[in-house]
Amino acid sequence: MSDTLAPEAASSQDRRTVRVELGERSYDILIGCGLLAEAGAHIAAVLPKARVAIITDETVAGLHLKPLQASLDAAGIGHVTFTVPAGESTKRFEIFERLVDDVLAARLERGDAIVALGGGVVGDLSGFVAASVRRGMKFIQIPTTLLAQVDSSVGGKTGINSRHGKNLIGAFYQPSLVLADTAVLDTLPLRDFRAGYAEVAKYGLLGDEPFFSWLETNWQAVFVGGPERDEAVARSCQAKADVVAADEFEGGRRALLNLGHTFGHALESAVDYATERLVHGEGVSIGMMLAHEFSHRLGLLPQDAVDRVEAHLTEVGLPIRIQAIPGQMPPAETLLDIIAQDKKVSRGQLTFILVRAIGDSFVEKGIDRTQVLEFLKEKLDA
């Protein structure tokens, strides 16, 4: 016997499973290194006899498509692959329509699965395709970015963008399985990993001070890979799974997940989702900073909590000011108008996720427009 562990045996010891409890729609998120190469076996276990359509983008296809296809072949799963351009602009009607047509042309049936291999764009788009073809096919998420692993692949939000805003067209549609292979995160540019980390930090800030504190200590280990990275992904998935299980259709508590997103979405929209200027997680980072500052402004949050958020986000290299976004930004009135059209608006009143302390967020409905406007003006002038 060699005393060297086979890589597979080593990695399966490190697998974590997070269960999303949604009654008949419950599913597992598997987290660990090397899952991509075992995807076929995991899919076959959950959906015996299903054929699959892989939807991926050009960038991810070059990095991770072959191992996935090989793994499906090994499990005897028939597959077709549809590749879309990388980038947020792919989440549009024209591409949605084309994919729906492609899947139908491939004669996939209701019991067959769409497999999303990619980041949030691919996952959101593919999920809406899965929800809409034959009124609902099976759906598997294989998220390849940190953002997708800790956020967009979990919870069933799918959709595409509209000229009126982001994610305004879509469905709540749960996957049958999520495979988060943390090894693929090694292929991410630092900027993308860092942006995804904003969502990781968010779970601490919205409801888990000990996790935020753990991140303050361990963030470097998370960034360089290893067990801390898996731990951060698993704790984030667990946090999201808990919220989603309590409120699948965003009637209440799920709105907490939007901490930083009301401001963040407005900033993304203001730059027309131009990712060279701002990616989602960066918008969330600035948005979280603004949410904490706004909470302080309203007399809800002490300054030292604001400082602590600022210190950590700055330390990891995330932007925290609107001025960090390259190029011209629209005036505060325009940002407010974008916020008002955001789907988190309820009956004309502005809803914000505010913070009483690190790890203690809450939904505040009926925020006064004028206060937001003044706050934004000041932040734009700062």
Does residue 104 touch its own copies according to CB under 8 A? yes
Site string for its own copies, 170-189 (x = CB under 8 A): xxx-----------------
Which residue in 180, 155, 151, 150 sits closest to 170, CA to CA? Answer: 155
Nearest residue (CB) to its own copies, 106 versus 329 = 106
Let me know if 164 is a catalytic residue: no
Cα-to-chain-centroid distance, residue 359: 19
Between CA 295 and CA 361 the distance in angstroms is 10
The span of 9-17, 152-160, 254-262, 370-378 binding its own copies (CB under 8 A) equals 152-160
Q: Considering only residues 1, 9, 347, 381, which one is a binding residue for its own copies as defined by CB under 8 A?
A: 347
Count of residues of this chain found to bind its own copies when the rule CB under 8 A is applied: 36
**List 64, 194, 229, 258, catalytic entry:** 258
| Listed ranges 160-168, 183-191, 306-314, 323-331: which one lies at the site for its own copies (CB under 8 A) | 160-168
State how far the Cα of 196 lies from the Cα of 379, in Å rounded to an integer.
Answer: 24
Contact call for residue 100 and its own copies (CB under 8 A) = yes
Annotated catalytic residue within 135, 163, 276, 347:
135
**Looking at 138, 235, 280, 312, which residue is catalytic?**
280
- Separation CA 183–CA 263 (nearest Å): 32
The answer to whether the beta carbons of residues 341 and 306 sit under 8 Å apart is no
Tokens representing residue 132 in the block? 């809409």
Contact call for residues 124 and 154 (beta carbons, < 8 A): no
136 lines the binding site for its own copies (CB under 8 A): yes
Alpha-carbon gap, residue 91 to 160, rounded angstroms: 5
Lookup result for tokens 């072949």: 73
Based on its alpha-carbon atoms, the radius of gyration of the chain, rounded to whole angstroms, reads: 20
Q: Which of 7, 62, 111, 366 binds its own copies (CB under 8 A)?
A: 111
- Beta strand 79-84 with 52-57 is parallel
Summarize as ranges the residues that interact with its own copies (CB under 8 A).
Answer: 49, 93, 97, 100-101, 104-105, 107, 109-111, 131-136, 157-159, 162-165, 167-172, 249, 341, 343, 345-347
Task: Enumerate the active-site residues.
Answer: 135, 157, 199, 240, 250, 254, 258, 261, 265, 280
